[in-house]
Amino acid sequence: MMVDMMYIFVHFWQILT
């Protein structure tokens, strides 16, 4: 799902920063 992908992306970004 697109929403799921976006959620994972945001979470990944938060972990990176």
- The CA-to-CA distance between both ends of the chain, in Å, stands at 25
What pLDDT, on a 0 to 100 scale, did the predictor assign at position 17? 87
* Sequence letter at residue 15: I
- 9-15 long-range Cβ contacts below 8 angstroms, 24+ apart: none
Consecutive H or E run containing 11? helix 2-16
Q: Token pair of 3, please? A: 């929403």
Whether the predicted model's global pTM rises above the 0.75 cut: no
Q: Quick: pLDDT tens for 1-17.
A: 789 999 999 999 999 98
Q: Token pair of 14, please? A: 């938060």
What pLDDT, on a 0 to 100 scale, did the predictor assign at position 1? 76
What pLDDT, on a 0 to 100 scale, did the predictor assign at position 13? 95
- 3-9 long-range Cβ contacts below 8 angstroms, 24+ apart: none
What pLDDT, on a 0 to 100 scale, did the predictor assign at position 15? 96
